[in-house]
Homo-oligomer: A and B are copies of this chain.
Amino acid sequence: MDLTSTLERVAERARRHLTEGHVAGYIPALARVDPSRFGIAVVSVDGQVWTAGDARMPFSIQSISKVFTLTLALGKVGQSLWERIGREPSGSAFNSIVQLEREGGIPRNPFINAGAIVVTDVLLDGRPPRTTIDEILGFVRRRADDPTVAIDDEVARSESETGHRNYSLAHFLASFGRLRNPVDDALSVYFHQCALSMNCVQLARAGLFLAAGGRDPLTGEQVVAAERARRINALMLTCGHYDASGDVAFRIGLPGKSGVGGGILAVVPKRAAIAVWSPGLNANGNSHAGTIALELLADEMGWSVF
């Protein structure tokens, strides 16, 4: 199997849509990113790597980091995590805070912001934010098999300064007694994990264990149990693309998680992990050209879990 020409073709067609997306404006450090960037990387479970475009240019992975912190938290507390977070799609951004209120401060799933903040609170476990941030960074570096993965402190600071909505959510959770660590600690970790800077090759490599039954197929390390990897994939499929999760499942049919930095990590069970990046977003906050590229690639390769 050689995906080189396939990726070039996909990239060429997706790039035609670059101008239709809009770069996220609410985090100043992200708003400055060049909207004409496009990169894609595929890493197969047998270790082959194919790329096209800006696949080696780092970007802010933002919400994609929630996949890694969820994996870490499940490793720490196991199934008991689900006493504090649900596993259902939230229906819509609009409803999330209503649901949070109706449902006693139990976030719908670990990929909406409220849920990810609870995951962060689980990871903190009474320790200083810096220790937890280092733990997350270390985990992602091991998954990417690359010690150069870093956190962009300017982005983290920028998020903190403009993060009123996240402060609101965290205090809302705290008002229900759902956080065990100080709000500021949980948010400090959260803003730093979102500021992880990775390129497409690193990101696809880091997600490879999800395509291989929870085991890193290149190092042999069993990151999580096979059953758990399947379940993380299920959550990515049902909840990984904000309010467009159903539509992405419908059109692409692969588990995936997007971030407002324009990145998407997708998983082809038993075969490969894909990372695509293009900063312009569609109306649902997912990478516009990235989503198109994933759809073209999945279609061409016949990659669908269905």
Residues of A within 8 A of B (CB): 86-92, 94-95, 97-99, 101-102, 108-109, 164-165, 167-172, 174-175, 183, 227, 229-231, 233-235, 237-239, 243-247, 249-251, 253, 255, 269, 299, 304-306
- Name which residue of chain B comes closest to A94, CB basis: B101
Q: A251 contacts which chain B residues (CB < 8 A)?
A: 231
Identify 9 new A-B residue pairs, CB closer than 8 A, beyond the known A109-B246, A231-B251: A86-B247, A97-B97, A97-B101, A167-B183, A227-B299, A230-B253, A235-B249, A237-B238, A239-B246
- What is the count of identical protomers in the complex? 4
Task: Take A164-B171, A174-B164, A306-B230 as given contacts and tell me if A97 and B98 are in contact as well, using a CB distance cutoff of 8 Å.
Answer: yes
Q: A245 contacts which chain B residues (CB < 8 A)?
A: 88-89, 238
Task: Take A88-B247, A91-B99, A171-B167 as given contacts and tell me if A234 and B253 are in contact as well, using a CB distance cutoff of 8 Å.
Answer: yes
Q: Given the complex of chains A and B, what is the CA–CA distance between A101 and B164 in angstroms? A: 13
Which among B87, B91, B165 is the interface contact of A90 at CB below 8 angstroms?
Answer: B91
Are A183 and B169 in contact, with the CB atoms below 8 A? Answer: no
Shortest 4 CB-CB contacts between residues of A and residues of B: A91-B91, A164-B175, A88-B246, A168-B171
